[in-house]
Structure 1
């Protein structure tokens, strides 16, 4: 069998440092799943009780993060090139066609995600100018923004900012900006957490968070949604993490990188939770409000909070950083695919992806249409991309190859559990995520 990495020495952009790579991956993982969905799931499924299955599934997901990083690095390509080489090493054709699945999924979710980042930009501006705080009804304010063509200019601005960063490349664009945005995100949320701690009534929120309501562990939905939350939060999709991995050096340690991404991703989710849930409790609002939690409930919190104008600005700037960093990761997969498949320059590839994003995204300028679109992509394509990438790397490429590529750059010896955890537990769990997503109409 030919080596999958043969003829893969072409010059390629790369991260300047492993820290930069880790921060970029943290940026891809820290997004709406952490800030918007995680506090909602905690509120929905008994606070700390939800953390038990969540952490369990997170530990399984880390094996997949290592695999996607190592797969991209080994093939020096995103999904199209990586899948093609994996098939070629078995004397098969058609891998590139299968690789389209995670690329289309990444672009599909990015097109919708850009609309949401546009909303966040609008809320950030509204917090700065005072229009958000002055709105008589936060629900009506959000309804206007999320209504048909209610935020087109902000949507286009979000895309413009994202592509303006990406045009500078991996090291000078994505890496450099994430080195600023990710530390800033954590600092801003820590400031918010300290402020929320001083609110009268916040203690009830902490109790809800950290005193497990064990009865929820008997509910299968707690486990199902914890599974989905863990896998989606880690950005397991066979696209963004894989393509970021393709910019890694052979000496970089994917074992420690994956571990650090999981740790800081979880820390970001918990940090968001200790800001949102105690604040909601402090003012007697609904902790399980669902999607409106960030765009309606939190603005109401800031309206009632002393110096709420200041903390509203801090909150939405931090959320904006998370949104832009995730959007860059999602867009990088189709941009790299255009470079890989058609030999376009980075600028040309970004131009094509930008045109597609605008044309398709304008059709989603309605919260109801957007929700349907995001459901279709996240239910049927995102988990399928993760499953295909796992099968390609851990099965098609072979267990010896997978172990060898993950081992590169790691000073210690990989656990004997590597093969059973990756080939059976992780791949099996990813298949379960895909099936449950369809059965439940989305779990992440």
Structure 2
């Protein structure tokens, strides 16, 4: 381990705004547009949303600050920063295991994340072709896939899943795009992508939400998201799903915020910045729900469609709506932007560690890890076709019937990310030097005391309990 920080000035964010945009871009991704509406639709709507917001306030936001302060203090890779703070605190460097678990988890997440992003790219091209056809025909207000029936639209995704070549091609294209951006460095690649893509993302999301509120069943969507049926909150798996979504959406437990925190300047107020990031990410998730569910309800479709909500239910809904060709294309471009800003943060974690540990050039590190991500990701891409009969984790309760895609998703979101978050909370709350930690938070008075209470008591107890419930759901059955 190098004695001096390995993050030179040329590798830092150029401004506080750039850090906020990049970190928000890491947090705001397909977890907001694909996973949040899916989880809300399958877990009772308002009850899930209330639990999700509670998890963000009491658990995720405090952990977000804990991770960013580890990175800024260490100014190293995720593992290097965690070990550095542990040694300065007189604690065992084995606390660096919190970053090891996170690094492995985020790399595994990236393997299937690129597969899902490949689906998005497929729909961008598909909806873009339909938009061109609508414009060429002089009917810009046509519904998406105007020349197709609803049954044909719903077959776009199954047809993609059944074609292993297309699944792998789109996966490879997205991996290559992610590698290209990360290889260009912090300022020349990651920051540029965030500064350009995130403002465009917010404008597109706002526009689609306004469209949805005008043409869709907005009142029913508001009632679904904000009028909780509290009986649903106590159903097995709902609390765990809410925490898992908070972790996944805010990129917690995997070390992304440690990596991005390492590039933050000493002038950046981490407490304030972490609050902005958590607020922005949660706001985007809820706004995404307000953009999607009015459209779903207006055409008589159900919100509990599961993972197909974004790729089958929505395209079918756009089919019958005025201007659906334009909005459908804009929506999938929006999703692609979100996927890119998150994928680069997932890859950056591994690349930063490899360049630090092995003194490898950034371009080479990004390429090698990208090839690894693509190779492992083939298991997820092919789990919908050639490997559909394989069950890799039959010995783990609850995972017996999972294929490769669901198994990797489940093992990272239900086990590895919460475990890493639990270790982080215990380390920062009980073993890290309080003076160093307090100075990095930029908090004071009652706010600092409240954060220390949450990180030392609430986070470990809550994450530990939900981790156990995630592994043994029969406890609440």
Q: Does 1:388 align with 2:423?
A: yes
Q: Is the 8 A contact 1:78 1:239 kept in 2?
A: no
2:102 maps to 102
Given the superposition, is the C-alpha separation of residues 415 and 358 from structure 1 closer, same or farther in structure 2, using an over 3 Å criterion? closer
Q: In 2, Cα distance between the equivalents of 1:166 and 1:389?
A: 26
Indicate yes or no: 2:472 matched with 1:439.
yes
Q: Distance in 1 between the 2:222 and 2:452 partners? A: 40
> CA 1:284–1:351 in structure 2 vs 1: closer, same or farther (change >3 Å)?
same
Gap change, CA 1:6 and 1:193, over 3 Å in 2: same
Aligned partner of 1:359 in structure 2 is 375
1:84 equivalenced with 2:119 (yes/no): no
> Per-residue deviation at 1:202?
4.2
CA-to-aligned-CA distance 1:164-201 (integer Å, 9 cap, x gap)? 11122112211121112111111111111111122264
**TM value normalised by structure 1:** 0.91
Map Cα deviations across residues 391-431 of structure 1 (whole Å, 9 max, x no partner): 33333323332212212xx6888532232221111232232
Distance 1:64 1:311, change over 3 A: same
Deviation at 1:324, TM superposition (A): 0.8
1:10: how far off? Answer: 5.9
The reply to whether residue 271 of structure 1 matches residue 287 of structure 2 is yes
Relative distance call for 1:82 and 1:432 in structure 2 (3 A) is farther
Q: Which residue of 1 aligns with 2:394?
A: none
CA contact (8 A) 2:6 2:356 kept: no
Offset of 1:92 from its aligned partner?
Answer: 3.7
Deviation at 1:115, TM superposition (A): 0.8
Contact 1:68 1:238 survives alignment (8 Å): no
Distance 1:344 1:6, change over 3 A: closer
Structure-1 separation of matches of 2:2 and 2:364:
27
Residue correspondence of structure 1 range 303-322 to structure 2 within 5 A = 303-322=319-338
Q: How does 1:314-353 map to 2 (within 5 A)?
A: 314-353=330-369
* Structure 2 counterpart of 1:141, from 156, 176, 180: 156
Q: Is the CA contact (8 Å cut-off) linking 2:46 and 2:227 kept in structure 1?
A: yes
Deviation larger for 15-24 or 93-102: 93-102
Work out whether 1:423 is the aligned partner of 2:438: no
Where does the alignment leave 5 or more consecutive residues of structure 1 unmatched?
none
CA distance in 1, matches of 2:438, 2:407: 40
Q: Summarize deviations over 1:346-376 as a string: whole Å, max 9, x none.
A: 1121121112122222232233432222222
Structure 2 CA distance for partners of 1:238 and 1:363, relative to 1, 3 Å: closer
CA–CA separation in structure 1 for the residues paired with 2:447 and 2:222: 38
TM-score computed with the length of structure 2 as normaliser: 0.85
1:118 aligns with 2:118: yes
2:275 alignment partner in structure 1: 259
Partner of residue 301 from structure 2, selected from 258, 279, 285: 285
Decide whether aligned partners of structure 1 residues 160 and 170 sit closer, same or farther in structure 2, where only a CA change above 3 A counts: same
204 and 119 in structure 1: CA distance in 2 versus 1, 3 angstrom threshold? same
Q: Is contact 1:228-1:433 (8 Å) kept?
A: no
CA contact (8 A) 2:422 2:459 kept: no
* 1:5 CA displacement: 11
Matches within 5 A, 1:102-251: 102-130=102-130, 133=145, 136-147=151-162, 148-199=164-215, 201-219=217-235, 221-251=237-267
Distance 1:93 1:71 in 2: 13
Specify every segment of 5 or more residues in structure 2 that has no aligned partner in the other structure, as ranges.
Answer: 134-143, 385-402
Give the CA deviation at 1:266.
Answer: 1.2
Moved more, 70-79 or 48-57: 48-57
- Structure 1 distance, partners of 2:167, 2:347, is 20
Q: Is the 8 A contact 2:216 2:297 kept in 1?
A: no
Change (3 A) 1:391 1:218: closer
Q: Deviations over 1:226-281 (max 9, x none)?
A: 23322332221141111100111111111111111111111111111011111110
Most deviating of 192-201 and 331-340: 192-201
Structure 1 runs of 4+ with >6 Å offset: none
8 Å CA contact 1:386–1:430 kept in 2: the answer is: yes
- The Cα RMSD (Å) is 2.5
- What secondary structure is seen at the aligned counterpart in 2 of 1:85? helix
Answering whether residue 418 of structure 2 is matched by residue 402 of structure 1, we say no
Give SS of 1:16's match. Answer: coil
Shift of 1:52: 2.4
How much does 1:162 deviate? 1.2
CA contact (8 A) 1:84 1:96 kept: yes
Greater mean alpha carbon deviation, residues 217-226 or residues 335-344 = 217-226
Contact 1:86–1:392, Cα closer than 8 Å, also in 2: no
